[in-house]
């Protein structure tokens, strides 16, 4: 799904959100409406079809239901205002605000032409680390990584990141990010993204014993679910991830690169037929 800053129609964004949730798990218009606080199970569907609209009170509820926060929530609220505005002056003012947010929070969506980015943890880590260490040689960057990477690899990774547009050079050895966020296109890179998830998962396993409790945070639970609350849990995790990304993007004087992985997976087969609860 595209970043919200690429939309100018809030109904289209809501429809794409629904389609994405439907594609990745059990999700219905009834569930979407319920998450947004509507008693009518079809109201959200009617909004997406242009047969109804969002009120000033309900708009923030729908935003929260889609896991939006920070600038993304602000952008969605402006989209709704833009759709309702009738005066040209008002529409122009709102459009300028939308464009300002889009520029400030531009995200790079990776597709097949940048497949290499997901080949290893080294690419996203060096993308974050290099701007923190202006003037650093590849050897120094490599030495700061917890997992092994050679200076030669770092040199090649930096060259790729610049060529592919993930970093830009500011001088001889200084780097800055072209966009604050990088988003993987699941449609274009399913195999590469799965490989990255496996690699990050293995690193997380090693981190359990490798770092002190004050350097890493792990928690977990075992829960019973059905299709409906599975979809709600996924939406909640996604919303949390977006809030964390917003916090990270607002940070200044960054001095360390962390990995954050959310994991939700089945321990058992589905129990079919009569409930045993």
Asked whether residue 22 carries a pLDDT value surpassing 60, the answer given is yes
CB-based contact 23:17 (threshold 8 Å): no
Say how far apart CA 203 and CA 236 lie, in whole Å: 25
- Closest by CA position to 14, among listed 40, 43, 56: 43
pLDDT at 33: 93
* Contact assessment for residue 58 and residue 36, using Cβ atoms and an 8 Å cutoff: yes
Higher pLDDT, 2 or 49: 49
Q: Tokens 């002056």 belong to which residue? A: 89
260 versus 191: the higher-pLDDT residue is 260
Instruction: Please say if the pLDDT value at position 231 is more than 90.
Output: no
Query: Are the C-beta atoms of residues 154 and 143 closer than 8 Å to each other?
Result: no
Q: Where are the domains of the chain?
A: 1-105+219-264, 110-210
Q: Which residues of 26-44 are buried (b: 16+ CB within 10 A; e: fewer)?
A: ebbbbbbbbbbebeeeebb
Report pTM.
0.64
pLDDT of amino acid 79: 95
Strand partners, 170: none
What is the tens place of the pLDDT at every residue in 27-71?
899 999 999 999 999 999 999 999 999 999 999 999 999 989 888
- Write out pLDDT tens, residues 72-131: 999 999 999 999 999 999 999 999 999 888 877 776 766 655 678 888 899 999 999 999
Rounded Cα gap, residues 110 and 119, in angstroms? 12
pLDDT at 197: 86
Is the pLDDT score of 268 beyond 70?
yes
Nearest alpha carbon to residue 119 among 141, 149, 145: 149
Q: Does the structure show a pLDDT above 60 at 276?
A: no
Summarize pLDDT for 172-183 with one digit per residue, the tens.
789 999 887 777
Number of H helices and E strands in the chain, helices first, is 11, 4
- Identify the weakest region by mean pLDDT among 1-10, 106-115, 138-147: 106-115
Looking at residue 54, what is its pLDDT? 94
CA distance 6 to 59: 19
Decide if domain 110-210 falls under CATH 3.90.930: no
Contact 47, 14 (CB under 8 A): yes
| Angle separating helix axes 70-84 and 227-250, nearest 10 degrees | 100
Asked whether 151 and 114 are in contact (CB, 8 A), the reply is no
44 with 32: CB under 8 angstroms?
yes
Residue tagged 């798990």 (tokens): 25
């Amino acid at each position: 799904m595209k970043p919200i800053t690429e939309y100018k129609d809030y109904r289209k964004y809501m429809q794409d959100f629904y389609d994405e949730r439907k594609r990745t798990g059990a999700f219905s218009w009834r569930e979407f409406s319920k998450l947004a606080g509507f008693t009518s199970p079809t109201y959200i569907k009617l909004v997406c079809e242009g047969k109804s609209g969002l009120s000033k009170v309900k708009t923030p509820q729908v935003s929260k239901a889609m896991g939006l926060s920070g600038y993304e929530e602000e952008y969605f609220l402006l989209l709704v205002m833009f759709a309702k505005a009738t005066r040209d002056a008002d529409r122009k003012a709102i459009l300028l605000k939308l464009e300002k947010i889009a520029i400030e929070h531009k995200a790079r969506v990776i597709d097949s032409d940048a497949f290499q980015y997901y080949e290893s943890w080294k690419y996203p880590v060096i993308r974050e680390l290099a701007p923190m260490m202006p003037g650093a040689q590849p050897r120094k960057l490599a030495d700061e990584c917890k997992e092994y990477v050679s200076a030669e690899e770092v040199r090649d990774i930096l060259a790729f990141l610049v060529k592919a547009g993930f970093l830009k050079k500011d001088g001889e050895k200084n780097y800055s990010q072209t966009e604050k966020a990088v988003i993987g296109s699941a449609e274009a890179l399913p195999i590469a993204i799965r490989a990255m998830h496996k690699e990050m998962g293995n690193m997380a396993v090693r981190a359990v014993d490798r770092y002190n409790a004050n350097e890493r945070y792990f928690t977990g639970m075992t829960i019973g679910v059905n299709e409906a609350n599975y979809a709600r849990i996924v939406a909640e995790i996604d919303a949390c991830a977006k809030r964390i990304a917003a916090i990270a993007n607002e940070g200044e004087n960054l001095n360390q690169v962390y990995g954050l992985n959310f994991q939700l997976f089945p321990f058992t087969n589905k129990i079919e037929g009569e409930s045993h609860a």
